[in-house]
Amino acid sequence: MAASLQTSLSQALDFNLAPSCTPQISVLFSSDVEFGSVSVGGYVASAMAKYALHYASHHPKLQDQVDLHSATVQFYRPVCPTSVTTMTLRELNISKAIITDPSIEGITLQTGWRLSPEARQVDLAKLATDSDPNWTSYHCAFYPDGFRRGHSYAKTHIHRTWPAEISFLEQWVKPGWDCLPHGSGPPDSNDNARWTDEMLQFVADMALPIQENFLPHEDGQPLPMGSNWRALPDDGSREFPGEKLVNATVTLCTEIKQKLPAQGRIVDGWIDLKVLVFGECMGLVAISHQTVVLVPAAAKIRRE
């Protein structure tokens, strides 16, 4: 059991930014939010977004643009928090915020979209106490020198049974930085940790490794995603076998919605499009993800 709790994610994202739109800052990422000696990609992306929003909130032309709708982060090499990291912000275009302003209302249309397969039933109150017999939880122990200490920032709940073919992973996650290694919150804590908007990219990067289900395994043995992860003696909390695979984030694209889609509706004119491009022999050529907003045609006419 760890002797002390790690730095909270809120603290790890607190860089004491000056109240101005400075185009360049230097930050020191927390060594607690790492895999091995590399910062978690979602943590770096969250920090970049927070800096961009801070910049916008102090810019005379962008003060009303303080909500993040879309972020695409590409990593060309690992980010190691052993030294100060410099973030430089460049303004590509400042114009009238017809599309990006979240306060502008759009139209609502029925699309018939629904999640497939449907999400499993869950009692969140029981998840909080690990008392739901249909769900099991996994919380990686935090050790200051542990390989997977970055994963200790999320406590994950997964269903105990899975379909024969697994190409997705359904999980519920709660903040894990105020939990002790085996999933019990500090007895003297009355302030439970919460996810915030600035942490969404980190949450997206905390999915359990789905590729484990595609690796060869013995017939009749349960797939890793359906097992009780809390019982694993070698989950990488301290050391991680060098021959095992880990996820290294190369690109992280996050689309943040003002409202969650309810009953397959287009809410306020926002639509997500996924386009699959096939060749003449039906070989997959390209995958395109696009977010569009429905606006009056007049909004596409340039005004002098």
pLDDT for the residue 137: 84
How many other CB atoms are found less than 10 A from the CB of residue 224?
17
SS3 category, 140: coil
pLDDT for the residue 227: 43
pLDDT for the residue 211: 67
DSSP code of 279? -
pLDDT for the residue 203: 86
Cα separation, 84 vs 81, in Å, equals 7
Please check whether residue 284 lies inside any domain of the structure.
yes
pTM exceeds cut of 0.85: no
How many other CB atoms are found less than 10 A from the CB of residue 236?
19
Range of the domain at 16: 9-96+250-255
pLDDT for the residue 46: 92
Please check whether residue 266 lies inside any domain of the structure.
yes
C-alpha distances (whole Å) from 260 to each of 97, 119, 255 are 22, 15, 11
Contact yes or no for 137/130 (Cβ under 8 A): yes
- Whether residues 213 and 274 share a domain: the answer is no
Cα separation, 196 vs 153, in Å, equals 13
pLDDT for the residue 31: 92
Q: State which residues of the chain have pLDDT below 50.
A: 1-2, 96-100, 225-231, 259-264
- Whether residues 191 and 275 share a domain: the answer is no
Structural domains of the chain, count? 3
- Whether residues 202 and 154 share a domain: the answer is yes
Nearest to 43 by CA among 7, 69, 18: 7
For every residue of 10-43, DSSP letters joined together read HHHT-----SS--SEEEE---TTSEETTEE-HHH
pLDDT digits (tens, 9 = 90+) for 230-256: 445 667 788 877 667 777 888 888 877
Cα separation, 205 vs 296, in Å, equals 36
pLDDT for the residue 166: 64
Please check whether residue 279 lies inside any domain of the structure.
yes
Residue type, 104: I
Cα separation, 15 vs 35, in Å, equals 21
Nearest to 150 by CA among 16, 45, 9: 9
Cα separation, 43 vs 202, in Å, equals 5
Contact yes or no for 10/43 (Cβ under 8 A): no
pLDDT for the residue 47: 94
Please check whether residue 69 lies inside any domain of the structure.
yes
- Whether residues 217 and 286 share a domain: the answer is no
Please check whether residue 134 lies inside any domain of the structure.
yes
Query: Angle CA(119)–CA(125)–CA(128) in degrees, nearest 5?
Result: 95
- Whether residues 155 and 208 share a domain: the answer is yes
pLDDT digits (tens, 9 = 90+) for 174-193: 888 887 655 555 555 555 77
Please check whether residue 238 lies inside any domain of the structure.
no
